[in-house]
Amino acid sequence: MIVILLRLLLFAAIFFIIFTIIKYLLSPRRKLELAHEQKKTYFLDDQKNVRKNFLLTYKGVLFEGEKYLGTTDRAFDVISIFVWTKNTSELKGLTYDDFNVIERKIKSAYPNAKIDWKSPIKEFLIKKQR
């Protein structure tokens, strides 16, 4: 009887370990961190939850965006997005075209949104537009 109980306990432990490994490998947060380390582009967002900020990594820079709900001609939708980075020293080397790529990536998810950047990116983009 104890042998069967120990076998079941061992089987449950193995199943739990395999389940935890698979859950970790498929985690969107892990994919974001991996893309950030490899300086790739990854967009992590829960589009169903307007209150939850999105995270975007591009060329090793992690951006965060805050979404605001409003009305469009046909429905309620995200109409305004504020984007910033916590570590401005990572912005070194990014060009005006890079910020256009980031905006296009955000616009593909939220086509009705107006994107506003926080300092110092906002000042950089204003200078470039002149």
> What's the pLDDT at 64?
93
Tens digit of each residue's pLDDT (9 = 90 or more) over 109-127 = 888 889 999 888 888 888 7
Q: Whole-prediction pTM value?
A: 0.77
C-beta of residue 60 within 8 angstroms of C-beta of residue 39: yes
57-100: pLDDT as tens digits: 999 899 999 999 888 778 788 889 999 998 888 888 888 888 98
pLDDT on residue 130: 62
**Angle ∠(12,18,21) on CA atoms, nearest 5:** 140
Q: Of 1-5, 11-15, 39-43, give the lowest mean pLDDT range.
A: 1-5
Check residue 81 and give its pLDDT: 93
* pLDDT, position 62: 92
Contact at 8 Å (CB) between 7 and 69? no
**Contact between residue 82 and residue 116 where contact means Cβ atoms under 8 Å apart:** yes
Convert the pLDDT of each residue in 14-72 to its tens digit. Answer: 999 999 999 988 888 899 889 989 999 999 988 888 889 999 999 989 999 999 988 87
